[in-house]
Amino acid sequence: GDSVTQMEGPVTLSEEAFLTINCTYTATGYPSLFWYVQYPGEGLQLLLKATKADDKGSNKGFEATYRKETTSFHLEKGSVQVSDSAVYFCALSHPGNNRKLIWGLGTSLAVNP
Amino acid sequence: GAGVSQSPSNKVTEKGKDVELRCDPISGHTALYWYRQRLGQGLEFLIYFQGNSAPDKSGLPSDRFSAERTGESVSTLTIQRTQQEDSAVYLCASSLGTSGSHEQFFGPGTRLTVL
């Protein structure tokens, strides 16, 4: 079945450092790919998405490119801020599978001033 | 309403008791999903409702779990004879449907603790 694997945390960075959180997937066909974020004390919210190969999703300075050849959707940000401290989840869905989300385990990010 | 709401926010129950969790989706959202997140594990899909179609129950872990949805509004997830392994955060999400942007909007979750 479909699955998502993302790098384990916790990840600790200093402010203005470069961030990469790796995400790879196993799926048939052409799933849509997502990054969700959960800030402390808040609910899950969509950060960015990509629906086809080579698409780049971007939001709040974060980017991720849908790479079909490597089955990856790595999350990157050039300069993190303390306010980016959160748990990040990679997920996929298929239109033919009711678009239910298949999730990675989540990566906790702590950014220190 | 502004977003997806869930109640209660926290529920502590004794093993063997039944519990009912409630989800109010965003008005106009035809699709509704239930997920759960157990400690140290990723989110797991439980059940999906879309309009008047038969629900997708493929993620329900046992027959102790059931869910209902009234039209395109409130949904309740019921767990009968709760077990300690049912302890988790139960999340509800809604979306406009499975076409278009299909972004799922999540509620704050219900934290269930089974003693």
What pLDDT, in 10s, does the model give residues A28-82? 888 999 999 999 988 899 999 999 999 999 999 999 999 999 999 999 999 999 9
B6 pairs with which residues across the strands? B23
pLDDT band at B99 (very low <50, low <70, confident <90, very high): low
CB distance from A48 to chain B under 8 Å? Answer: no
Mean pLDDT of B88-104: 83
pLDDT band at B1 (very low <50, low <70, confident <90, very high): low
Mutation for A interface: B96, B98, B101, B110, most A CBs within 10 A = B98
Half-sphere exposure of A96 (CA within 13 A, CB side): 6
% of chain B beyond a pLDDT of 90: 76
DSSP percent split of chain A into helix, strand, coil, nearest 5:
5, 50, 45
Token pair of A66 as six digits: 């849908």
Q: Report d(CA A76, CA A52) in Å as an integer.
A: 18
Which residue of chain B has the CA closest to A5?
Answer: B42
pLDDT at position B100: 59
Mutation for A interface: B102, B110, B111, most A CBs within 10 A = B102
A62 pairs with which residues across the strands? A59, A77
pLDDT band at A95 (very low <50, low <70, confident <90, very high): confident
A-chain CB neighbours of B102 within 8 Å are 32, 93, 95, 99
Summarised one tens digit per residue, pLDDT across range B33-57 is 999 999 878 899 999 999 888 899 9
- Reply yes or no on whether the pLDDT at A6 is more than 70: yes
